[in-house]
A and B are shown apart, each in its own frame.
Chain A
């Protein structure tokens, strides 16, 4: 464990990844201070104007919105859109900051639950073998027969809009990779003498899997999980981009990119005039995913001796 941590911190690429992750975590933790919420639900992006057209960085809150806040007796925490506003007057800066929390929530929750399902399914299949293995692996194959994004989109459409529905869809179609990996490693590990010894001593099956097999086989799964967090966030953003993910106005990077879709080309004579609508959310998504991938890629190289110096 210490060796792995030392390598992670001494490798330049993974160090970049770790620093990026630390910055994102700081942003997520300090979100209420960096961008104080206006509404009761902090994940709703405040609007700076009713204007459909995006407003450039540095523009001020429009007069009619200010009047609404004054009328309802709410305090105006800040009135300058530092990164501009997206389509519909949504403040980009606020969406970025609170979107970081959304991204962590999506990534960690979906990966945790899909890993859990995968671990249970894969370890039971490998440990007991026979027809149990056959049935569980065929079910895995069936779930794998759907392109991930298509399956997630269909399930989210049926369940209805909302971040929780998106996460359910991602978990339902996201566990199969873990099941296959853990099955492979347990298949070889269960022939080891320590497992046979435990069986001979009459240790319960569930205890053998949980206490003996999983601690010895879980590392490849953890590597996969760290790489998977990025792709889960990408898929969730893609769903929001397609218009079936988070509800309109929710602080979510994918939705902010979808706000930018109609404006990216710019207006005649002003090509790229609305660059900020896609630039800021795009940068946040790319760096977030990149950070996880850098860490995961290095982890894989460290744990897989065959790849050392090869790739």
Chain B
């Protein structure tokens, strides 16, 4: 299944790419836009890169180049596209990791709690919060966060690091980059002040990126847990005199979490779309920020590569979700 989807994804991206003229496509490979002004050298380059080939041949050539990570030249980043991606990937990874893990842990915990303490006031509050969460677009919520925590209170600055910390992290010899995730690198280097600075810059983007998922995950966990708690086997467990805590966490929770897994797929989608907006609002130097500014500058090569990358991440992410389905639910595993 996976190869078919990946083939389809690359094919679709190439179709979109082919909407551009050969000249515009050539611009994504050329470092110096000046060479395009000369029609002769431009024509030579077009045939060199097979940009005027018939569609199927062009697709194969393009695929070959993408597979060898020769993605072209990014005008907006002024470096090869693959290099630009590698350089910005850790920043985005750091943001997304910290946005997913707390949501899953705390969101499920809260959902279970609110299902166990089922009362109508809380019920309505959660429902209304979820709808308002859906209706509040990320770019408005993010601006509000920026306004309150930076504009008014001055606590959480935009960017990834303060300038003094940037000097240390990117130039000082003594600071070694192990993972590219600044919070972890700072701890490995034993530099608490840089760790604290990185955390201060991360909090606001994390809130912005994950607030929709909080509401959503909580709601799904809650309704699924409510349903499970009414099942016969839970009643049997209770009537056998098993402690309430064990019934909830060992018997009910595991089954209630099965539908929650599907939400994880949804979360990946909203995260991948959300990083563009979140990073743009907070000037956070990751992939999303770069993609958005490439789109504004009509840097087609970068935008196409970005789409290819994110589609691949999403396909692989959904595969992981499917596998974790089997891990949680023994019935799926047996099939």
Contacts and interface: CB of A to CB of B under 8 A. Distances in A.
B16 A264 contact: no
Contact of A311 (B127, B135, B303): B127
Interface stretch (B31-39, B101-109, B136-144, B240-248): B136-144
A243 interface: yes
* SS of A interface (majority): helix
A146 B9 contact: yes
Interface string B115-144: 000000001000100011011111110011
Given A147-B273, A238-B138, A242-B277, A261 B307 contact: no
B300 interface: yes
Nearest to A307: B223
B137 A158 contact: no
Interface string B266-287: 0001001110110011000000
A150 B139 contact: no
A294 interface: yes
A138 interface: yes
A266 interface: yes
Interface string A63-95: 000000000000000000000000000000000
Interface residues of A, number: 50
B264 interface: no
B19, B137, B292 — which one has the most chain A CB atoms within 10 A of its CB?
B137
Contacts of A260: 143
Contact of B152 (A147, A158, A257, A272): A272
B112 interface: no
Contacts of A150: 272-273, 276, 291, 306-307, 310-311
Interface stretch (A182-190, A195-203, A281-289): A281-289
Interface in B289-323: 291-292, 295-296, 298, 300, 303-304, 306-307, 310-311, 314-315, 318
Given A150-B306, A264-B151, A257 B136 contact: no
A242 B296 contact: yes
* SS of B interface (majority): helix
B140 A286 contact: yes
Nearest to B277: A238
A290 B143 contact: no
A261 B140 contact: no
B296 A243 contact: yes
A155 B296 CA distance: 13
A114 B219 CA distance: 28
Contacts of A266: 151
B250 interface: no
B273 A142 contact: no
B5 interface: yes
Interface string A261-302: 100111000011001001000100110011001100100000
B4 interface: yes
B17 interface: yes
B150 A285 contact: no
A237 interface: yes
B140 A145 contact: no
B295 A147 contact: no
B151, B227, B306 — which one has the most chain A CB atoms within 10 A of its CB?
B151
A142 B143 contact: no
B295 to A, nearest CB: 4
B25 to A, nearest CB: 11
Contacts of B315: 145
A237 B295 contact: no
B16 A271 contact: no
A40 interface: no
B137 A265 contact: no
A159 interface: yes
A241 B139 contact: yes
B5 A142 contact: yes
A153 B138 CA distance: 16
B223 A311 contact: yes
B201 to A, nearest CB: 15
Interface in B7-27: 8-9, 11-13, 16-17, 19-20
A158 B123 CA distance: 45
B11, B147, B269, B276 — which one has the most chain A CB atoms within 10 A of its CB?
B147
B194 interface: no
Given A147-B272, A310-B223, 10 more contacts: A138-B4, A142-B12, A147-B273, A148-B273, A150-B291, A153-B292, A153-B295, A156-B295, A272-B147, A272-B151
Interface of B: 4-5, 8-9, 11-13, 16-17, 19-20, 123, 127, 131-132, 134-140, 143-144, 146-147, 150-152, 219, 223, 226-227, 269, 272-274, 276-277, 280-281, 291-292, 295-296, 298, 300, 303-304, 306-307, 310-311, 314-315, 318
Q: Which 5 A-B pairs have the closest CB atoms?
A: A142-B8, A149-B273, A290-B135, A147-B272, A265-B151
